Structure 1
Amino acid sequence: MTEHIAIVGGGTGGTVLANNLAEELGAELDAGEIAITLFNDGPDHVYKPVWLYVAFGQREPADGRRPLRELVDDRVDIRQDYVYDIHHERRQLELVDAIEPVEYDKLVIATGSQLDPERVPGLVEGGHHFYGEDGAQALRDELLTLEGGHIVLSVVGTPHMCPAAPLEFVFMVDDWLRERGRRDDVDVTYTYPIMRVHGNEHIAEWARPRLEERDIGIETMFNAESVDPDAETITSMEGTELDYDLLVAIPPHTGSDLIETAGLGDGGWVDVDQHTLEATGFEDIYAIGDAAQTGVPKAGSAAHYQANVVGQRIASEVRGQPATAVYGGKTICFIETGMDDATFVEFDYENPPEPSEPTQAMHWSKLAYNESYWLTARGLL
């Protein structure tokens, strides 16, 4: 009997995992002993870090998309459909366009994060963001026409995708304005919802003096409560009000409704063992990437490393061998510190990040990785 491995979500984690399993279990696939299905609600794979560069006119939206079928091993079945419920006790998936539920033997949840700007009154009407294709293009147009005034970058909710991206934006916009001779006419303020400028204290300690030396205003413990698009103000729960001419907000994020519906976790995030990535209390279900509550940032590199671990574990289980692969929390991240320099961090559960000295070479390394990412998704790097 063919064993069915189902992967829900065609982002970084799901795509890397599908290719990893096709490589690891190639003989079993060819013999018909297993089948792998990747479920995704659209035809494309999206590389979200590109949107930051779209906002500054350095990339086009098409640079962040590829057809999923071009990236995934031909032996993996791709189904474009929305999984709206999981019956874990029966090992079945309910799909919008399928009359009958789909059965699985092993399931991996890789549903990522979704933006939820409606949670803050006025944010949709009054704010911009670079966390999606349309938002990045609209922000690009606003930046091009801004001659003076006040830019506020407000991290409205945590956790959020690409934890370093808000810092990257203010560092980049500072440089971008200087290059155009506009920096003296534009104030820039950065807000964060806790008492430091980043969730990770080591990155916060590194970033704060760099913000200060660039005359970027800092408002910590600023939890955005509402935005008044007409008055162009953003107000925090703590009572602080900021005027703005351009509000760039990191919207609140939520996990997938599927996870809530299926009872796999709260807020759309799956509780997992942080080393094995097995869903707590559920047999033969894993979660990776943003969907997994591991304590590491919601970053594509984490999803990549987690996918490799889960691929090895599932391959072992299929072959009746002990699953020994574990995830140590490894995450890597480039952080742009301007338009032509960057730093790099690597950390895990035991070792904190230590940002390197920013260099132009590191900036070019990040751009090179953005180009080579598609090989990573294919499982070639």
Structure 2
Amino acid sequence: MVRRVAILGGGTGGTVLANDLTDRLAAEIDAGDVEVTLINDDPDHVYKPVWLYVPFGQREPADGRRPLRELVDSRIDLAIDRVTEIDTDEKKLALRDAPGSLTYDYLVVATGSTLAPAEVPGLVEGAHDYYSESGALAFREELLSMTEGHLVLSVVGTPHMCPAAPLEFVFMADDWFRERGLREDVEITYTYPINRVHGNANIAEWARPLMDERDIDVETFFNAESVDPEAGTIASMEGTELDYDLLVGIPPHRGVDVVDEAGLGDRGWVDVDKRTLEAEAADGVYAIGDAATTGVPKAGSVAHYQAGVVARRIASEVRDRPATATYDGKTLCFIETGMDSASFVEFDYENPPSPAPASEKLHWSKLAYNESYWLTARGLL
């Protein structure tokens, strides 16, 4: 009997998983006993961390794109299509373009995050972002020409992709304007919805003194409620209103509707066991990366490590062995602290983060990883 594995999403998690699983089950795949199908609605694989550098004129969106077919093992069935329905009882998927349905024995949801700026009135019209290709390009046009005024970065929605990126942006912007002799003419304000500057208390404790030292104004307990593009203001539920000349909004995030419709979780996030990554609402279903509600950051490193766990579990199950691999919450992240310095954190469920002292070496380490990322996607790192 052929065992069929369907992976939804060709981002970091889905791509690494497909390659890892194909390597582990090479003999079974070659014998025709296992089929692995990767479904993605874009023929390209997108490396999103590149977008942080686009507004500063340092990178182009094309630097973060590669054809997905070039990154995955030739034995993987790659379907450029969109899943429109998940039937977890019958273990079938409906696709937008393909006739009939795709059956599976194991389903892995790796559909990532989508942006939902329309949930906040005025955010679409009044704010820029660097959490999408189009957003980063449009923002670049404004940021490169800014020489004075009030730059506001507001973290509007949490959880969101790459939780450190808002801090990185204001640190980089501060340094960038200083290097050009413009910092005295540009006021920078950072807002966050809770009573600290980051969701993780240890990272917040590390970051806040740096922000104070560098005259980055901070507004906490600022839950953005609306933006008035004509007046150039952003208002919070708490009653605070800020004027801005250039607004960067980290918009609300959500998963994909098909997850909600399948009863796997709310807002497109799959409710899972945080260690086994198995879906709570259906058998034979896993979720990894941004799509999984594990309580860890929505970061590429998380998707990478979780992909390895799920690959080991599915390989064991295919071979009728007990699946024992578990995810320990491992997360790692470089955090830019300027245009030529960065910190680094590594943590898991049991050990909290302790950011390393910022250095130029760590900055170059981050850039080096960005260049070598394509080896990670191929399963070589």
Aligned residue number for residue 127 of structure 1: 127
Deviation at 1:98, TM superposition (A): 2.0
Name the SS of the counterpart of 1:187 in structure 2. Answer: strand
| Paired residue type of 1:59 | R
Alpha-carbon distance in 1 for matches of 2:215, 2:281:
49
User: 1:201-212 alignment to 2 at 5 Å?
Assistant: 201-212=201-212
Alpha-carbon distance in 2 for matches of 1:96, 1:271:
25
Q: Is the 8 A contact 2:55 2:144 kept in 1?
A: no
Aligned residue number for residue 269 of structure 1: 269
Alpha-carbon distance in 2 for matches of 1:101, 1:186:
56
Deviation at 1:237, TM superposition (A): 0.6
Deviation at 1:137, TM superposition (A): 1.2
| Paired residue type of 1:135 | G
Deviation at 1:134, TM superposition (A): 1.1
Aligned residue number for residue 72 of structure 1: 72
| Paired residue type of 2:379 | G
Deviation at 1:315, TM superposition (A): 0.3
What percentage of aligned pairs have identical amino acids? Answer: 71
1:378 aligns with 2:381: no
Aligned residue number for residue 347 of structure 1: 347
| Paired residue type of 1:262 | A
The CA RMSD measured in Å over matched residues stands at: 0.6
> Structure 1: which 5+ runs fail to align?
none
What TM-score do you get using the length of structure 1 for normalisation?
0.99
| Paired residue type of 1:284 | G
User: 1:156-167 alignment to 2 at 5 Å?
Assistant: 156-167=156-167
Deviation at 1:138, TM superposition (A): 1.3
> Structure 2: which 5+ runs fail to align?
none
Q: Is the 8 A contact 2:197 2:220 kept in 1?
A: yes
| Paired residue type of 2:58 | Q
Alpha-carbon distance in 1 for matches of 2:376, 2:353:
23
CA deviations over 1:185-225 (Å, ceiling 9, x no partner) = 00000000000000000000000000000000000000000
| Paired residue type of 1:188 | I
Aligned residue number for residue 323 of structure 2: 323
Aligned residue number for residue 85 of structure 2: 85
Paired residues, number: 381
Aligned residue number for residue 239 of structure 1: 239
Alpha-carbon distance in 2 for matches of 1:111, 1:61:
20
Alpha-carbon distance in 2 for matches of 1:33, 1:196:
52
User: 1:268-347 alignment to 2 at 5 Å?
Assistant: 268-347=268-347
Aligned residue number for residue 257 of structure 1: 257
Deviation at 1:97, TM superposition (A): 1.0
Q: Which runs of 4+ in 1 moved over 2 A?
A: none
Alpha-carbon distance in 1 for matches of 2:143, 2:103:
49
Aligned residue number for residue 196 of structure 2: 196
Alpha-carbon distance in 1 for matches of 2:261, 2:64:
30
Alpha-carbon distance in 2 for matches of 1:303, 1:42:
19
Deviation at 1:179, TM superposition (A): 0.8
Aligned residue number for residue 114 of structure 2: 114
Name the SS of the counterpart of 2:332 in structure 1. Answer: strand
Q: Is the 8 A contact 2:263 2:281 kept in 1?
A: no
Deviation at 1:145, TM superposition (A): 1.0
CA deviations over 1:273-309 (Å, ceiling 9, x no partner) = 0000000031110000000000000000000000000
| Paired residue type of 1:323 | A
Deviation at 1:60, TM superposition (A): 1.0
Deviation at 1:99, TM superposition (A): 2.1
Alpha-carbon distance in 2 for matches of 1:143, 1:281:
45
Aligned residue number for residue 364 of structure 1: 364
Name the SS of the counterpart of 1:230 in structure 2. Answer: coil
User: 1:152-231 alignment to 2 at 5 Å?
Assistant: 152-231=152-231
Alpha-carbon distance in 2 for matches of 1:68, 1:181:
42
Name the SS of the counterpart of 2:144 in structure 1. Answer: helix
Deviation at 1:3, TM superposition (A): 1.0
Alpha-carbon distance in 2 for matches of 1:2, 1:208:
55
| Paired residue type of 1:329 | G
Aligned residue number for residue 47 of structure 1: 47
Alpha-carbon distance in 2 for matches of 1:294, 1:110:
13
Aligned residue number for residue 2 of structure 2: 2
Alpha-carbon distance in 2 for matches of 1:144, 1:170:
15
What TM-score do you get using the length of structure 2 for normalisation?
0.99
Alpha-carbon distance in 2 for matches of 1:119, 1:179:
37
Name the SS of the counterpart of 1:145 in structure 2. Answer: coil
Q: Is the 8 A contact 2:57 2:144 kept in 1?
A: no
Name the SS of the counterpart of 1:168 in structure 2. Answer: helix
Aligned residue number for residue 143 of structure 2: 143
Alpha-carbon distance in 1 for matches of 2:177, 2:246:
14
Name the SS of the counterpart of 1:380 in structure 2. Answer: coil
Aligned residue number for residue 26 of structure 2: 26
Name the SS of the counterpart of 2:6 in structure 1. Answer: strand
Alpha-carbon distance in 1 for matches of 2:366, 2:151:
26
Deviation at 1:258, TM superposition (A): 1.0
Alpha-carbon distance in 2 for matches of 1:174, 1:359:
16
